[in-house]
């Protein structure tokens, strides 16, 4: 089961992306025009559908087919958001930055690691206000919430039943790095996931992890789209 869980999460995440890709191909094949819809809107809609499908496949399908239930406690949603959660996230962000710096400094010595590689967020050439809003909502709100439910909620919550805590953190973080499909981003988000997992385990709640993930993506959003020259 310890091996099946990360494989299942990976498969569910990939299948959701394939389904959306096939839907876009089908629309193009049927000559249904998408030219009137800008790329930012398509990216946002596509991201929402991918995340919803991923959650539906990974969490909902086992529940529907095999009655393999996932409780709120396993996901870390059995308690409400607290002020402590909001205060823990900024402090944990500093720890994440330090860990990321150490790991990326080590990775920089390997030939396969490109320190100048630019992260592909799916958004580019933003020029209108609503495009920035769509990118912000997608990258800073939708992605953190969905990814935390999938990885630190479902995967970590289930893995802890079958393997030691350190192993569940390592497996979850490795998979989280892998699904980003870029070496430089993978190393950074691996470090992020370590801290996110520790927050989830220490507090018993998913909210601190969600807030930290939002802070990280919000800062990245600023440097990528608002002030890229800085």
How far is 87 from 89, CA to CA, in rounded Å?
Answer: 6
Residue 167: what pLDDT? 95
Burial 20-32 (b: 16+ CB within 10 A, else e): beeeeeeeeeeee
- Paired tokens of 124: 């580019």
Burial 184-205 (b: 16+ CB within 10 A, else e): bbbbbbbbbbbbbbbbbbebeb
Residue 27: what pLDDT? 79
Tell me the CA distances in angstroms from 186 to 34, 59, 69, 107, 163, one per residue in order: 32, 24, 30, 11, 23
- Paired tokens of 128: 């209108």
Per-residue pLDDT of the chain (230 residues; tens, 9 = 90+): 678 899 999 999 999 999 998 988 887 777 777 667 778 888 898 899 999 999 999 999 988 888 888 888 889 998 888 889 899 999 999 999 999 999 988 988 877 777 666 677 778 777 788 889 999 999 999 999 999 999 999 999 999 989 999 999 999 999 999 998 777 788 899 999 999 999 999 999 999 999 999 999 999 999 888 887 76
**Residue 193 near residue 180, CB atoms below 8 Å:** no
Residue 64: what pLDDT? 86
Residue 43: what pLDDT? 87
Residue 230: what pLDDT? 64
Burial 114-128 (b: 16+ CB within 10 A, else e): eeeeeeebbbeebee
Residue 67: what pLDDT? 80
């Amino acid at each position: 089961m310890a091996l099946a869980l990360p494989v299942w999460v990976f498969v569910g995440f990939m299948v959701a992306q394939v389904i959306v890709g096939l839907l876009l191909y089908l629309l193009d094949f049927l000559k249904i025009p998408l030219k009137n819809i800008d790329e930012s809107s398509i990216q946002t809609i596509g991201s929402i559908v991918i995340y919803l499908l991923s959650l539906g496949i990974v969490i909902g399908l086992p529940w529907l087919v095999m009655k393999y239930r996932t409780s709120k406690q396993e996901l870390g949603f059995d308690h409400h958001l607290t002020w402590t959660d909001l205060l823990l996230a900024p402090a944990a962000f500093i720890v994440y930055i330090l860990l990321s710096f150490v790991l990326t400094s080590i990775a920089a010595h390997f030939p396969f690691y490109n320190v100048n590689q630019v992260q592909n967020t799916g958004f580019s050439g933003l020029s209108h206000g609503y495009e920035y809003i769509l990118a912000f909502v997608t990258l800073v709100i939708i992605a953190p919430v969905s990814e935390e439910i999938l990885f630190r909620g479902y995967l970590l919550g289930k893995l802890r039943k079958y393997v030691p805590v350190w192993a569940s953190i390592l497996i979850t973080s490795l998979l989280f790095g892998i699904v980003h499909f870029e070496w430089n981003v993978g190393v950074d988000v691996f470090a992020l996931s370590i801290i996110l997992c520790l927050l989830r385990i220490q507090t018993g709640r998913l909210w601190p992890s969600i807030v930290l993930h939002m802070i990280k993506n919000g800062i990245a959003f600023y440097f990528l789209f608002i002030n890229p020259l800085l």
